Amino acid sequence: MLRRRLSLLQAVSVNMAMMVGVGPFITIPLFVKSMGGPQAIVGWVLGALIAICDGLVWSELAAAFPGSGGTYHFFDEVYGARRLGRLLKFLFVWQFLFSAPLELASGALGLAQYTGYLIGGLDSAVWTLSPFENAPQLTWQVNRGQLLAVLFMAGIVAMAYRGVESAGRMMVVLWAGMLATVGFVIASCLARFQPSLAFTYPAGAWSMDRAWFGGLGIALGIAMYDFLGYYQICYLGDEVSDPARTIPRSILIAVVAVAALYLTMNLGILGVMPWQEVAASGHIASDVMSRLYSPRVAQVVTLMILWTGLAATFAAILSYSRVPYAAARSGHFFSTLAAVHPSGQFPHRSLVLVGVLAMLACLASLQTVIEALLASRILIQFVGQIVTVAYIRTRPDLAARLSFRMILYPIPACIALAGWLYVFGSSSPQVMLYGLGSMALGLVVFGFWDRRAPIAG
Protein backbone atom coordinates (compact mmCIF):
# COMPACT_ATOMS: atom_id res chain seq x y z
CA MET A 1 0.00 0.00 0.00
CA LEU A 2 1.08 3.57 -0.71
CA ARG A 3 1.53 5.83 2.31
CA ARG A 4 -0.27 9.15 2.83
CA ARG A 5 2.60 11.60 3.35
CA LEU A 6 1.98 14.58 1.01
CA SER A 7 0.92 17.73 2.86
CA LEU A 8 -1.10 20.72 1.60
CA LEU A 9 2.13 22.62 0.88
CA GLN A 10 3.51 19.73 -1.15
CA ALA A 11 0.18 19.27 -2.95
CA VAL A 12 0.07 22.96 -3.92
CA SER A 13 3.69 22.78 -5.07
CA VAL A 14 2.93 19.79 -7.31
CA ASN A 15 0.00 21.61 -8.94
CA MET A 16 1.71 24.98 -9.33
CA ALA A 17 5.00 23.58 -10.57
CA MET A 18 3.14 21.59 -13.20
CA MET A 19 1.16 24.63 -14.28
CA VAL A 20 3.99 27.13 -14.49
CA GLY A 21 6.79 25.02 -15.98
CA VAL A 22 8.41 26.09 -19.18
CA GLY A 23 5.03 26.35 -20.95
CA PRO A 24 4.35 30.10 -20.74
CA PHE A 25 7.95 30.91 -21.66
CA ILE A 26 7.63 29.01 -24.95
CA THR A 27 4.01 29.82 -25.80
CA ILE A 28 3.69 33.58 -25.11
CA PRO A 29 4.91 34.43 -28.66
CA LEU A 30 2.45 31.94 -30.17
CA PHE A 31 -0.25 33.37 -27.95
CA VAL A 32 0.28 36.99 -29.07
CA LYS A 33 0.58 35.90 -32.71
CA SER A 34 -2.74 34.04 -32.57
CA MET A 35 -4.71 37.30 -32.28
CA GLY A 36 -2.15 39.68 -33.73
CA GLY A 37 -1.68 42.00 -30.79
CA PRO A 38 -1.92 42.63 -27.03
CA GLN A 39 -5.67 41.96 -27.15
CA ALA A 40 -4.71 38.29 -26.89
CA ILE A 41 -4.67 38.88 -23.12
CA VAL A 42 -8.42 38.22 -23.18
CA GLY A 43 -7.51 34.60 -23.88
CA TRP A 44 -5.65 34.42 -20.57
CA VAL A 45 -8.63 35.89 -18.71
CA LEU A 46 -11.02 33.36 -20.25
CA GLY A 47 -8.49 30.58 -19.64
CA ALA A 48 -8.30 31.48 -15.96
CA LEU A 49 -12.10 31.43 -15.70
CA ILE A 50 -12.33 27.99 -17.34
CA ALA A 51 -9.50 26.63 -15.19
CA ILE A 52 -11.23 27.80 -12.00
CA CYS A 53 -14.57 26.33 -13.07
CA ASP A 54 -13.01 23.05 -14.16
CA GLY A 55 -10.95 23.02 -10.97
CA LEU A 56 -14.24 22.93 -9.05
CA VAL A 57 -15.23 19.85 -11.06
CA TRP A 58 -11.95 18.13 -10.16
CA SER A 59 -12.34 19.18 -6.52
CA GLU A 60 -15.80 17.62 -6.23
CA LEU A 61 -14.66 14.33 -7.70
CA ALA A 62 -11.37 14.15 -5.77
CA ALA A 63 -12.99 14.95 -2.43
CA ALA A 64 -15.72 12.36 -2.97
CA PHE A 65 -13.42 9.66 -4.33
CA PRO A 66 -9.86 10.19 -3.02
CA GLY A 67 -7.37 7.82 -4.59
CA SER A 68 -4.58 7.57 -7.14
CA GLY A 69 -5.23 7.69 -10.85
CA GLY A 70 -7.21 10.90 -11.34
CA THR A 71 -9.93 10.57 -13.98
CA TYR A 72 -9.49 6.80 -14.23
CA HIS A 73 -10.14 6.43 -10.52
CA PHE A 74 -13.22 8.68 -10.69
CA PHE A 75 -14.72 6.66 -13.55
CA ASP A 76 -13.98 3.44 -11.67
CA GLU A 77 -15.71 4.64 -8.51
CA VAL A 78 -18.76 6.08 -10.28
CA TYR A 79 -19.43 3.60 -13.09
CA GLY A 80 -17.80 0.44 -11.74
CA ALA A 81 -17.69 -2.77 -13.77
CA ARG A 82 -20.71 -2.08 -15.98
CA ARG A 83 -20.01 -1.98 -19.70
CA LEU A 84 -20.19 1.84 -19.72
CA GLY A 85 -17.73 1.94 -16.86
CA ARG A 86 -15.39 -0.50 -18.57
CA LEU A 87 -15.58 1.55 -21.77
CA LEU A 88 -14.88 4.89 -20.10
CA LYS A 89 -11.98 3.51 -18.07
CA PHE A 90 -10.48 1.83 -21.09
CA LEU A 91 -10.83 4.96 -23.25
CA PHE A 92 -9.27 7.12 -20.56
CA VAL A 93 -6.21 4.89 -20.23
CA TRP A 94 -6.12 4.68 -24.03
CA GLN A 95 -6.10 8.46 -24.49
CA PHE A 96 -3.71 8.78 -21.58
CA LEU A 97 -1.16 6.76 -23.53
CA PHE A 98 -1.64 9.25 -26.39
CA SER A 99 -1.62 12.47 -24.35
CA ALA A 100 0.48 12.10 -21.19
CA PRO A 101 3.76 11.35 -23.01
CA LEU A 102 3.04 14.37 -25.23
CA GLU A 103 2.64 16.63 -22.20
CA LEU A 104 5.85 15.34 -20.67
CA ALA A 105 7.64 15.70 -24.00
CA SER A 106 6.49 19.31 -24.35
CA GLY A 107 8.28 20.10 -21.09
CA ALA A 108 11.47 18.33 -22.14
CA LEU A 109 11.39 20.00 -25.57
CA GLY A 110 10.93 23.38 -23.88
CA LEU A 111 13.97 22.67 -21.72
CA ALA A 112 15.97 21.86 -24.84
CA GLN A 113 14.72 25.01 -26.60
CA TYR A 114 15.95 27.31 -23.82
CA THR A 115 19.19 25.35 -23.57
CA GLY A 116 19.64 26.34 -27.21
CA TYR A 117 19.76 29.99 -26.09
CA LEU A 118 22.85 29.16 -24.04
CA ILE A 119 24.80 26.88 -26.36
CA GLY A 120 23.22 27.24 -29.81
CA GLY A 121 23.40 24.84 -32.71
CA LEU A 122 20.57 22.60 -31.49
CA ASP A 123 18.39 23.23 -34.55
CA SER A 124 20.71 21.40 -36.91
CA ALA A 125 19.38 18.05 -38.09
CA VAL A 126 20.97 14.80 -36.98
CA TRP A 127 19.13 12.66 -39.49
CA THR A 128 16.29 13.00 -41.99
CA LEU A 129 13.80 10.27 -42.88
CA SER A 130 11.90 10.55 -46.19
CA PRO A 131 9.77 7.43 -46.69
CA PHE A 132 8.33 8.74 -49.96
CA GLU A 133 10.57 10.67 -52.33
CA ASN A 134 7.71 12.67 -53.85
CA ALA A 135 6.02 13.53 -50.56
CA PRO A 136 8.19 16.13 -48.77
CA GLN A 137 5.39 16.82 -46.29
CA LEU A 138 6.06 13.37 -44.82
CA THR A 139 9.74 14.06 -44.28
CA TRP A 140 10.74 13.60 -40.64
CA GLN A 141 13.78 15.37 -39.24
CA VAL A 142 15.36 14.83 -35.85
CA ASN A 143 17.64 17.59 -34.58
CA ARG A 144 20.08 17.90 -31.71
CA GLY A 145 17.50 19.68 -29.58
CA GLN A 146 15.14 16.72 -29.74
CA LEU A 147 17.91 14.33 -28.76
CA LEU A 148 18.78 16.63 -25.86
CA ALA A 149 15.10 16.54 -24.84
CA VAL A 150 15.31 12.74 -24.73
CA LEU A 151 18.28 13.03 -22.36
CA PHE A 152 16.40 15.54 -20.20
CA MET A 153 13.48 13.13 -19.99
CA ALA A 154 15.76 10.25 -19.00
CA GLY A 155 17.25 12.36 -16.20
CA ILE A 156 13.80 13.34 -14.91
CA VAL A 157 12.77 9.68 -14.79
CA ALA A 158 15.87 8.98 -12.71
CA MET A 159 14.93 11.82 -10.33
CA ALA A 160 11.42 10.43 -9.89
CA TYR A 161 12.70 6.91 -9.26
CA ARG A 162 12.57 7.28 -5.50
CA GLY A 163 10.07 7.20 -2.62
CA VAL A 164 7.29 9.77 -2.50
CA GLU A 165 8.62 11.42 0.68
CA SER A 166 11.93 12.28 -1.01
CA ALA A 167 10.08 13.29 -4.16
CA GLY A 168 7.70 15.49 -2.18
CA ARG A 169 10.58 17.34 -0.51
CA MET A 170 12.34 17.74 -3.84
CA MET A 171 9.11 19.09 -5.34
CA VAL A 172 8.94 21.88 -2.75
CA VAL A 173 12.54 22.87 -3.54
CA LEU A 174 11.86 22.92 -7.29
CA TRP A 175 8.62 24.84 -6.69
CA ALA A 176 10.52 27.51 -4.75
CA GLY A 177 12.88 27.89 -7.71
CA MET A 178 9.90 28.26 -10.03
CA LEU A 179 8.40 31.04 -7.89
CA ALA A 180 11.76 32.84 -7.81
CA THR A 181 12.06 32.67 -11.60
CA VAL A 182 8.57 33.93 -12.35
CA GLY A 183 8.81 36.54 -9.61
CA PHE A 184 12.06 37.97 -10.99
CA VAL A 185 10.68 38.18 -14.54
CA ILE A 186 7.49 39.88 -13.31
CA ALA A 187 9.32 42.35 -11.05
CA SER A 188 11.77 43.25 -13.81
CA CYS A 189 9.00 43.89 -16.31
CA LEU A 190 6.82 45.89 -13.94
CA ALA A 191 9.77 48.12 -13.01
CA ARG A 192 10.13 49.17 -16.69
CA PHE A 193 6.45 48.86 -17.63
CA GLN A 194 5.21 51.15 -20.43
CA PRO A 195 1.40 51.31 -20.75
CA SER A 196 1.77 52.65 -24.28
CA LEU A 197 3.24 49.30 -25.33
CA ALA A 198 0.88 47.05 -23.39
CA PHE A 199 -2.34 48.83 -24.36
CA THR A 200 -1.69 49.97 -27.92
CA TYR A 201 -3.75 47.78 -30.20
CA PRO A 202 -3.53 47.31 -33.97
CA ALA A 203 -6.38 48.21 -36.28
CA GLY A 204 -9.25 45.73 -36.02
CA ALA A 205 -8.06 44.41 -32.67
CA TRP A 206 -11.63 44.27 -31.36
CA SER A 207 -13.48 43.54 -34.59
CA MET A 208 -15.36 40.57 -33.08
CA ASP A 209 -15.75 38.96 -36.49
CA ARG A 210 -15.34 35.30 -37.45
CA ALA A 211 -11.56 35.61 -37.80
CA TRP A 212 -11.34 37.28 -34.39
CA PHE A 213 -13.21 34.46 -32.67
CA GLY A 214 -11.09 31.92 -34.57
CA GLY A 215 -7.95 33.59 -33.24
CA LEU A 216 -9.47 33.69 -29.76
CA GLY A 217 -10.07 29.94 -29.94
CA ILE A 218 -6.41 29.36 -30.75
CA ALA A 219 -5.32 31.72 -27.97
CA LEU A 220 -7.64 30.00 -25.50
CA GLY A 221 -6.21 26.61 -26.47
CA ILE A 222 -2.69 27.87 -25.77
CA ALA A 223 -3.84 29.35 -22.46
CA MET A 224 -5.41 26.05 -21.41
CA TYR A 225 -2.23 24.19 -22.33
CA ASP A 226 -0.34 26.50 -20.00
CA PHE A 227 -2.94 26.13 -17.24
CA LEU A 228 -2.86 22.32 -17.41
CA GLY A 229 -1.78 20.84 -14.10
CA TYR A 230 -4.12 22.50 -11.58
CA TYR A 231 -5.47 18.97 -10.91
CA GLN A 232 -2.11 17.18 -10.85
CA ILE A 233 -2.32 16.12 -7.22
CA CYS A 234 -5.42 14.02 -8.04
CA TYR A 235 -3.13 11.47 -9.65
CA LEU A 236 -1.41 11.04 -6.27
CA GLY A 237 -4.55 10.80 -4.15
CA ASP A 238 -3.45 7.64 -2.32
CA GLU A 239 -0.38 9.49 -1.07
CA VAL A 240 -2.06 12.71 0.12
CA SER A 241 -2.72 13.36 3.80
CA ASP A 242 -6.43 14.06 4.53
CA PRO A 243 -7.25 14.03 0.79
CA ALA A 244 -10.91 15.12 1.08
CA ARG A 245 -9.76 18.50 2.42
CA THR A 246 -6.23 18.82 1.07
CA ILE A 247 -6.93 18.11 -2.62
CA PRO A 248 -9.73 20.69 -3.19
CA ARG A 249 -7.81 23.38 -1.34
CA SER A 250 -4.61 22.64 -3.25
CA ILE A 251 -6.44 22.86 -6.59
CA LEU A 252 -8.16 26.18 -5.89
CA ILE A 253 -5.06 27.76 -4.33
CA ALA A 254 -2.94 26.73 -7.32
CA VAL A 255 -5.45 27.99 -9.92
CA VAL A 256 -5.92 31.41 -8.32
CA ALA A 257 -2.21 31.91 -7.64
CA VAL A 258 -1.06 30.86 -11.11
CA ALA A 259 -3.81 32.83 -12.86
CA ALA A 260 -2.54 35.96 -11.09
CA LEU A 261 1.07 35.13 -12.03
CA TYR A 262 0.21 34.48 -15.68
CA LEU A 263 -1.82 37.64 -16.18
CA THR A 264 0.82 39.79 -14.49
CA MET A 265 3.71 38.21 -16.40
CA ASN A 266 2.01 38.54 -19.78
CA LEU A 267 1.06 42.16 -19.20
CA GLY A 268 4.58 42.87 -17.93
CA ILE A 269 6.26 41.40 -21.02
CA LEU A 270 3.90 43.26 -23.37
CA GLY A 271 4.73 46.44 -21.44
CA VAL A 272 8.49 46.28 -22.09
CA MET A 273 8.64 44.92 -25.66
CA PRO A 274 6.52 45.73 -28.75
CA TRP A 275 4.03 42.96 -29.38
CA GLN A 276 5.44 42.42 -32.89
CA GLU A 277 8.82 41.52 -31.36
CA VAL A 278 7.16 39.35 -28.73
CA ALA A 279 5.37 37.38 -31.45
CA ALA A 280 8.64 36.83 -33.34
CA SER A 281 10.75 35.78 -30.32
CA GLY A 282 12.02 32.23 -29.90
CA HIS A 283 13.19 32.71 -26.28
CA ILE A 284 10.89 35.46 -25.02
CA ALA A 285 11.98 35.54 -21.37
CA SER A 286 15.68 35.52 -22.27
CA ASP A 287 15.16 38.21 -24.92
CA VAL A 288 13.27 40.42 -22.47
CA MET A 289 15.99 40.09 -19.83
CA SER A 290 18.67 40.87 -22.41
CA ARG A 291 16.76 44.02 -23.36
CA LEU A 292 16.18 45.13 -19.77
CA TYR A 293 19.60 44.22 -18.37
CA SER A 294 22.35 42.47 -20.32
CA PRO A 295 23.07 39.19 -22.12
CA ARG A 296 24.73 37.90 -18.94
CA VAL A 297 21.57 38.46 -16.89
CA ALA A 298 19.57 36.83 -19.69
CA GLN A 299 21.75 33.75 -19.38
CA VAL A 300 21.16 33.57 -15.62
CA VAL A 301 17.40 33.89 -16.13
CA THR A 302 17.58 31.19 -18.79
CA LEU A 303 19.11 28.86 -16.21
CA MET A 304 16.28 29.75 -13.83
CA ILE A 305 13.75 28.93 -16.56
CA LEU A 306 15.43 25.57 -17.04
CA TRP A 307 14.96 24.98 -13.29
CA THR A 308 11.28 25.91 -13.61
CA GLY A 309 10.77 23.59 -16.57
CA LEU A 310 12.48 20.80 -14.69
CA ALA A 311 10.10 21.29 -11.75
CA ALA A 312 7.02 21.07 -13.97
CA THR A 313 8.13 18.01 -15.89
CA PHE A 314 9.17 16.29 -12.67
CA ALA A 315 5.73 17.00 -11.15
CA ALA A 316 4.06 15.62 -14.27
CA ILE A 317 5.89 12.31 -14.41
CA LEU A 318 5.53 11.85 -10.67
CA SER A 319 1.76 12.12 -11.05
CA TYR A 320 1.18 10.49 -14.43
CA SER A 321 3.15 7.39 -13.54
CA ARG A 322 0.36 6.59 -11.06
CA VAL A 323 -2.32 6.26 -13.77
CA PRO A 324 -1.24 2.91 -15.29
CA TYR A 325 -0.52 1.76 -11.74
CA ALA A 326 -4.07 2.54 -10.62
CA ALA A 327 -5.55 0.86 -13.70
CA ALA A 328 -3.42 -2.25 -13.23
CA ARG A 329 -4.20 -2.46 -9.51
CA SER A 330 -7.93 -2.49 -10.33
CA GLY A 331 -7.51 -5.21 -12.96
CA HIS A 332 -8.00 -2.97 -15.97
CA PHE A 333 -4.46 -2.92 -17.32
CA PHE A 334 -1.36 -5.10 -17.38
CA SER A 335 -0.95 -6.56 -13.88
CA THR A 336 2.82 -6.16 -13.94
CA LEU A 337 2.35 -2.38 -13.67
CA ALA A 338 0.62 -2.75 -10.29
CA ALA A 339 3.98 -3.52 -8.69
CA VAL A 340 5.27 -1.16 -5.99
CA HIS A 341 8.97 -0.67 -5.35
CA PRO A 342 9.87 -2.82 -2.31
CA SER A 343 11.79 -0.10 -0.48
CA GLY A 344 10.69 3.19 -2.03
CA GLN A 345 6.97 2.32 -2.01
CA PHE A 346 6.21 3.88 -5.41
CA PRO A 347 4.96 2.32 -8.71
CA HIS A 348 8.35 1.94 -10.37
CA ARG A 349 7.32 -0.11 -13.43
CA SER A 350 4.56 2.31 -14.34
CA LEU A 351 7.03 5.16 -13.96
CA VAL A 352 9.44 3.57 -16.41
CA LEU A 353 6.68 2.89 -18.97
CA VAL A 354 5.45 6.49 -19.00
CA GLY A 355 9.03 7.80 -19.09
CA VAL A 356 10.00 5.68 -22.10
CA LEU A 357 6.90 6.75 -24.04
CA ALA A 358 7.71 10.38 -23.25
CA MET A 359 11.27 9.93 -24.53
CA LEU A 360 9.88 8.64 -27.83
CA ALA A 361 7.47 11.60 -28.02
CA CYS A 362 10.43 13.98 -27.71
CA LEU A 363 11.37 13.02 -31.27
CA ALA A 364 8.35 14.98 -32.58
CA SER A 365 8.34 18.77 -33.02
CA LEU A 366 7.19 21.00 -30.16
CA GLN A 367 4.32 22.49 -32.19
CA THR A 368 3.04 19.03 -33.11
CA VAL A 369 3.22 17.90 -29.50
CA ILE A 370 1.26 20.89 -28.17
CA GLU A 371 -1.44 20.73 -30.85
CA ALA A 372 -2.05 17.00 -30.45
CA LEU A 373 -2.02 17.06 -26.64
CA LEU A 374 -5.35 18.78 -25.97
CA ALA A 375 -7.11 17.14 -28.93
CA SER A 376 -6.52 13.69 -27.47
CA ARG A 377 -7.66 14.66 -23.98
CA ILE A 378 -10.64 17.02 -24.07
CA LEU A 379 -13.53 14.71 -24.95
CA ILE A 380 -12.86 11.73 -22.70
CA GLN A 381 -11.21 13.40 -19.74
CA PHE A 382 -12.51 16.95 -19.30
CA VAL A 383 -15.93 16.63 -20.92
CA GLY A 384 -16.33 13.13 -19.46
CA GLN A 385 -15.69 14.41 -15.93
CA ILE A 386 -18.20 17.26 -16.26
CA VAL A 387 -20.88 14.81 -17.43
CA THR A 388 -19.93 12.52 -14.53
CA VAL A 389 -20.49 15.29 -11.97
CA ALA A 390 -23.97 15.84 -13.42
CA TYR A 391 -24.64 12.09 -13.31
CA ILE A 392 -23.59 11.85 -9.65
CA ARG A 393 -26.30 14.31 -8.71
CA THR A 394 -28.92 11.95 -10.15
CA ARG A 395 -27.72 9.18 -7.82
CA PRO A 396 -28.46 9.87 -4.13
CA ASP A 397 -26.01 7.17 -3.02
CA LEU A 398 -23.16 8.85 -4.90
CA ALA A 399 -24.25 12.43 -4.19
CA ALA A 400 -24.03 11.66 -0.47
CA ARG A 401 -20.27 11.29 -0.88
CA LEU A 402 -19.82 14.85 -2.17
CA SER A 403 -18.05 16.34 0.82
CA PHE A 404 -17.04 19.29 -1.36
CA ARG A 405 -19.65 20.95 -3.61
CA MET A 406 -18.98 23.69 -6.13
CA ILE A 407 -20.76 26.96 -5.55
CA LEU A 408 -23.57 28.01 -7.92
CA TYR A 409 -23.83 24.55 -9.49
CA PRO A 410 -24.31 23.95 -12.43
CA ILE A 411 -23.00 27.29 -13.70
CA PRO A 412 -19.26 26.55 -13.20
CA ALA A 413 -19.65 23.11 -14.80
CA CYS A 414 -21.45 24.63 -17.81
CA ILE A 415 -18.74 27.29 -18.23
CA ALA A 416 -16.04 24.63 -18.15
CA LEU A 417 -17.94 22.48 -20.67
CA ALA A 418 -18.48 25.38 -23.07
CA GLY A 419 -14.84 26.41 -22.79
CA TRP A 420 -13.42 22.96 -23.53
CA LEU A 421 -15.77 22.41 -26.48
CA TYR A 422 -14.82 25.84 -27.87
CA VAL A 423 -11.13 24.93 -27.67
CA PHE A 424 -11.73 21.60 -29.39
CA GLY A 425 -13.92 23.19 -32.08
CA SER A 426 -11.25 25.83 -32.78
CA SER A 427 -8.59 23.20 -33.52
CA SER A 428 -7.27 22.68 -37.03
CA PRO A 429 -8.95 19.90 -39.04
CA GLN A 430 -5.84 17.72 -38.72
CA VAL A 431 -5.68 18.12 -34.94
CA MET A 432 -9.42 17.53 -34.55
CA LEU A 433 -9.07 14.40 -36.69
CA TYR A 434 -6.27 13.23 -34.40
CA GLY A 435 -8.50 13.61 -31.35
CA LEU A 436 -11.56 11.98 -32.89
CA GLY A 437 -9.52 9.33 -34.70
CA SER A 438 -7.63 8.21 -31.61
CA MET A 439 -10.91 7.92 -29.71
CA ALA A 440 -12.56 5.99 -32.56
CA LEU A 441 -9.62 3.62 -32.69
CA GLY A 442 -9.93 3.16 -28.95
CA LEU A 443 -13.59 2.19 -29.36
CA VAL A 444 -12.65 -0.46 -31.91
CA VAL A 445 -9.85 -1.88 -29.75
CA PHE A 446 -12.13 -1.92 -26.71
CA GLY A 447 -14.77 -3.89 -28.65
CA PHE A 448 -12.31 -6.66 -29.47
CA TRP A 449 -10.65 -6.67 -26.04
CA ASP A 450 -13.85 -6.58 -24.02
CA ARG A 451 -15.36 -9.52 -25.91
CA ARG A 452 -12.26 -11.66 -25.59
CA ALA A 453 -11.28 -10.77 -22.02
CA PRO A 454 -13.97 -8.88 -20.07
CA ILE A 455 -12.43 -6.66 -17.45
CA ALA A 456 -12.89 -7.67 -13.85
CA GLY A 457 -14.72 -5.25 -11.63
Min mean pLDDT across 18-27, 56-65, 107-116 is at: 18-27
CB-CB contact of 263 with 42 (8 Å): no
Q: What is the pLDDT of residue 457?
A: 45
Highest mean pLDDT out of 127-131, 343-347, 433-437 = 433-437
DSSP alpha helix (H) spans, 1-82: 8-20, 23-35, 41-64, 71-79
Tens digit of each residue's pLDDT (9 = 90 or more) over 409-422 = 999 999 999 999 99
Query: 10 Å Cβ neighbour count for 81?
Result: 16
What's the predicted TM-score (pTM) here?
0.84
Binned at pLDDT 50, 70 and 90, residue 171 comes out as: low
Examine the pLDDT at 167 and tell me if it is beyond 70. Answer: no
Examine the pLDDT at 187 and tell me if it is beyond 90. Answer: yes
Mean local confidence (pLDDT), 437-451 = 86
Separation CA 109–CA 149 (nearest Å)? 5
Q: What is the pLDDT of residue 3?
A: 60
Q: What is the pLDDT of residue 385?
A: 97
Q: What is the pLDDT of residue 27?
A: 86
Q: Is 346 left (phi over 0), alpha (psi -120 to 50) or beta?
A: beta
Highest mean pLDDT out of 116-130, 140-154, 406-420 = 406-420
Q: What is the pLDDT of residue 254?
A: 93
Tens digit of each residue's pLDDT (9 = 90 or more) over 122-137 = 776 666 665 555 555 5
Binned at pLDDT 50, 70 and 90, residue 45 comes out as: very high
Examine the pLDDT at 349 and tell me if it is beyond 80. Answer: yes
- More confidently predicted of 430 and 297: 297
Examine the pLDDT at 174 and tell me if it is beyond 70. Answer: no
Query: 10 Å Cβ neighbour count for 208?
Result: 9
CA atoms within 13 A on the CB side of 325: 28
Tell me which DSSP letter residue 240 carries. Answer: B
Query: 10 Å Cβ neighbour count for 206?
Result: 10
Examine the pLDDT at 371 and tell me if it is beyond 60. Answer: yes
- More confidently predicted of 93 and 174: 93
Separation CA 422–CA 181 (nearest Å)? 32
Mean local confidence (pLDDT), 309-330 = 78
- CB neighbours of 77 closer than 8 A, spacing ≥ 6? 64, 65, 67
How many residues comprise the chain? 457
Mean local confidence (pLDDT), 310-330 = 78
Tell me which DSSP letter residue 127 carries. Answer: E
Q: What is the pLDDT of residue 162?
A: 65
Separation CA 344–CA 348 (nearest Å)? 9
Residue among 14, 44, 86, 17 nearest 267 (CA) = 44
